[in-house]
Chain A
Amino acid sequence: MKKRYSLKSLDTLPITAISFITTEGNETGEWRSQRPILDREKCNSCGLCWMYCPDNAIYAEGGAFQISYTYCKGCGICAKECPRGAILIEKEER
């Protein structure tokens, strides 16, 4: 992504609406009203939760799948689709 623009002044704005910043950092996890919890003992890393997550909030790190609470909107698809019942849904406490 191009970074040479900035929103600070007319001069540094692009000539038209040319988007130059990624949505990474937009913490959509704040929307969450329920929270998926991954039970590592039950998880066999089949990757279905990763595959079905609309927000790419499940990622592989250190040989296991992890849930990013920065981005997880709490839709619950991962819990519903996990064939081993390794993801539980809890109410989000804020």
Chain B
Amino acid sequence: MDRPAQIKFPIPEEELVYSGHTACPGCGAALAMKYVLKGLGPRTIIVIPPSCMGTIAAGFPFSSLKIPVLRIPFESTAISASGIRAALDVMGKEDIHVLAWAGDGGTFDIGLQALSGAAERNDNIIYVCYDNEGYMNTGIQRSSSTPAGAWTTTTPAPFVKDTPKKDIVRIMAAHNIPYIATASIGYPADLIRKVKKAKEIGGTRFILIFSPCPTGWRYSPEMTIRLAKLGTETGIFPLYEIENGEKYTLSSKRPEKPLRDYFALQGRFRNLTKENLQQFEERVEKEREYLKRLAG
């Protein structure tokens, strides 16, 4: 044990999340928060609607975040961040980042109107959606981010979800906001790079983070990072950036692994049919072509 100290920190060392939070073991959302705050730093104010993250941030009198937190109603994530920004502007405090943080339910569904409003006004906020493809906090119900073929408690087997995941990124791209990125907890350095890039830009910035959920996706918690990487390696969740609604940059490689590697690990896809799989393959290919075309 007399080796010289050779500790490496692959990502910024400062932690802005306290231990002792109550995320499930292997939680992807907790990792997403850890990485985003490493990218943004301590001069950040966050708003959190009802979501797993609301629970992870802790109940009164506790907080697991080292930054100021405002818990807000479900529909109001983006505008609540905008309100904080307006107050900061009027008080002349411009060096503080305002982070809106919601799950896919709070973003794709109930919070979409307020998000669209903020994006259209180009309010100076960073909006992060940690995407675990369902209403996990209330007990694994389907959201419009739940992929086709997936079991949830409101799409019970064999009547699993029969419509594909909503493409929130295209919706956001249509707002022509300065910066959009997809990122994954499987690639923290890439994720933090994108957060830091977003941080340097003004206006509405939107980052969608792929955050596997062991509890809701029915897999063993040690597989969280593996699954996150598989999501990208199979092309299910491509990583890319969009600047000003037009400049597309792909940050993930061509899918190299078969989709079934991704599905096989998850209990929620137990009812997946051959047909479903084929549809997925077609969709992944189409999406890849679409992105490649836009990225030039």
Contact = CB atoms under 8 A, between A and B. Distances in A.
Interface of A: 1, 5, 7, 17-28, 31, 40, 44-48, 50-52, 54-57, 60, 63-65, 68, 70-71, 73-77, 79-81, 89
Contact of B62 (A23, A45, A70, A71): A23
9 contacts: A17-B60, A20-B61, A45-B5, A51-B10, A55-B23, A55-B25, A63-B7, A65-B7, A80-B225
Contact of A45 (B8, B64, B226): B8
Contact of A19 (B24, B30, B31, B60): B60
B17 interface: yes
Contacts of B24: 73
A92 to B, nearest CB: 12
B273 interface: no
B171 interface: no
Nearest to A50: B9
Q: On chain B, which size bracket covers the interface? A: 35 or more
A68 B290 CA distance: 46
B40 interface: no
**B interface secondary structure, majority:** loop
B110 to A, nearest CB: 22
Nearest to A1: B63
Contacts of B18: 22-24, 56
B268 interface: no
Given A22-B20, A77-B224, A77-B225, A40 B1 contact: yes
A23 B61 contact: no
Given A45-B7, A76-B26, A81-B225, A55 B21 contact: yes
B20 A54 contact: no
B61 A19 contact: yes
Contacts of B30: 54-55
Nearest to B66: A22
Given A24-B19, A45-B7, A73-B25, A56 B225 contact: no
B32 to A, nearest CB: 9
A71 to B, nearest CB: 4
Given A28-B19, A56-B15, A77-B222, A22 B64 contact: yes
Contact of B22 (A28, A44, A75): A28
Residue of B17, B19, B60, B66 contacting most chain A CB atoms (<10 Å): B19
Nearest to A55: B19
Contact of A47 (B8, B26, B69): B8
Contacts of A76: 26, 220-222
B46 interface: no
Contacts of A70: 19
Contacts of B20: 22-28, 71
Given A45-B8, A47-B9, A77-B222, A57 B19 contact: yes
B223 interface: yes
B99 to A, nearest CB: 17
A64 B64 contact: no
Interface string B25-50: 11110110010000000000000000
Contacts of B15: 56
A75 B25 contact: yes
Contacts of B222: 75-77, 79-80, 89
A80 B223 contact: yes
A43 to B, nearest CB: 9
